[in-house]
Amino acid sequence: MNDAYLSIMIKIAVVEDNKNLRESLEQLFNHTPDIRCVASLGNVMNIVSELSKVDPDIVLMDIGLPNISGIEGVRTVKSNFSDVQVLMFTVFEEEDKIFQAIRAGASGYLLKKTSPQEIVESVRALYNGGAPMSPSIAKKVISSFQQKTSENLNEFQLTSREKEILYSLVDGLSYKKIAEKYVVSISTIRTHICHIYHKLHVNSKSQAVAKILQNK
């Protein structure tokens, strides 16, 4: 365990209707030194009141929930808790589900076949500014980005480097990893990202992704 992880405590809420899986996720997080499961819900019916009690950093959200879908749940979370990050956790790999979740405000998208260690690392990555996605999901998102680059990104007058950084965000890289990739400081990356957000008229990486994909 990296000493840096021990200095923080990531609070996560789990929304999953499968009781056995939900309890397994609770145990996984509560046995990880830098993560605590502060809420465990089987649906999103009372999610606003429940999250208000525990103030989580991240919500792990299933899509196929009873009565109200996880995608609607993302909208509810983001409209009431703008600083809370939502990580989708689902069996769905269809493009429409992926893009609906991103448009709704999700910052990451993991498949349920993801290993426990990868789930933990994805939670940490999201907490530290990344946008974690299962490889097959990231490939579909990036492919869609590439198809729409000429029309959409040029419309917003992004520079070549800004486009590269935007792709890196979609690929789930943290600010630190992007800085290492382009051999610049983290502050330089933050400046580029501020410019990107300004040009796209958004305030977060999930909104930036949704902006480009809105005509998908």
For the chain, the three-class secondary structure string (H helix, E strand, C coil) is CCHHHHCCCEEEEEECCCHHHHHHHHHHHHCCCCEEEEEEECCCCCHHHHHHHHCCCEEEECCCCCCCCHHHHHHHHHHHCCCCEEEEEECCCCHHHHHHHHHHCCCEEEECCCCHHHHHHHHHHHHCCCCCECHHHHHHHHHHHHHHHHHHHHHCCCCHHHHHHHHHHHCCCCHHHHHHHHCCCHHHHHHHHHHHHHHHCCCCHHHHHHHHHCCC
Q: Report pTM.
A: 0.67
Domains 3-128 and 138-213 in one fold = yes
CB 31, CB 116: distance < 8 Å: no
| b (16+ CB within 10 A) / e for 140-153 | bbeebbeebeeebb
Q: What is the pLDDT of residue 215?
A: 45
Residue 96 to residue 202: CA distance in whole angstroms: 22
Q: Spell out the domain ranges in the chain.
A: 3-128, 138-213
pLDDT averaged per 10 residues in sequence order, the chain, 216 residues: 61 97 97 96 95 97 93 95 93 80 88 94 91 80 61 73 84 86 93 89 75 56
Fold of 138-213: Rossmann fold (3.40.50)
pLDDT at residue 22, rounded to an integer: 96
Going by C-alpha positions, the residue among 87, 27, 80, 19 that lies closest to residue 53 is: 80
- The predicted structure's pLDDT at residue 212: 63
Q: What is the CATH topology of the domain spanning 3-128?
A: Rossmann fold (3.40.50)
